Amino acid sequence: MAPSADRHGYWGQPTSTLDWCEENYVATFYIAEFWNTVSNLIMILPPIYGAIQTFRDGLEFRYICSFLGLAAVGVGSWCFHMTLLYEMQLLDELPMIYSTCVFVYCLYECFKQENTTSLFPIALLLIFSFSVTLVYLHWKEPVFHQVMYGTLVACLVMRSIFIVTWVYPWLRPLCYTSLGVFMLGFLLWNIDNIFCNTLRASRHKLPPGVGVATQFHAWWHIFTGLGSYLHILLSLQIRSTYLKHRPNIKFVCGVWPTLHIEAQKTS
Closest C-alpha to 26, from 7, 4, 47:
7
Mark the binding-site residues for Zn(2+), compressed into ranges.
81, 217, 221
Q: Model confidence at 266, in pLDDT bands (50, 70, 90)?
A: very low
pLDDT of 112 above 60: yes
Q: Which residues pair with 262 in a beta bridge?
A: 246
Spatial neighbors of 190 by CB under 8 A, at least 6 apart, are none
Let me know the angle formed at the C-alpha of 101 by 134 and 243, rounded to the nearest 5 degrees.
160
pLDDT of 18 above 70: yes
- Alpha helices for the chain (secondary structure H): 34-38, 45-56, 61-83, 86-108, 119-138, 142-166, 172-194, 196-205, 208-211, 216-242
Closest C-alpha to 65, from 158, 73, 156:
73
| Averaged pLDDT, 226-237 | 96
Which pLDDT does position 246 carry in this prediction?
82
> What phi and psi, each to the nearest 5 degrees, are found at residue 153?
-65, -40
Average pLDDT, the chain: 92
Q: Is 137 exposed, middle or buried (0-12, 13-18, 19+ CB in 10 A)?
A: exposed
Please report, for residues 108, 144, 243, the alpha-carbon distance to residue 113 in angstroms, rounded to integers and kept in the order given. 13, 36, 8
pLDDT of 175 above 80: yes
Which pLDDT does position 138 carry in this prediction?
96
- Taking only the tens place, the pLDDT of each residue in 187-229 is 999 999 999 999 999 988 888 788 899 999 999 999 999 999 9
Q: Is 186 exposed, middle or buried (0-12, 13-18, 19+ CB in 10 A)?
A: middle
Which pLDDT does position 20 carry in this prediction?
95
Mark the binding-site residues for Ca(2+), compressed into ranges.
19-20, 22, 24, 33
Mark the binding-site residues, compressed into ranges.
19-20, 22, 24, 33, 81, 217, 221
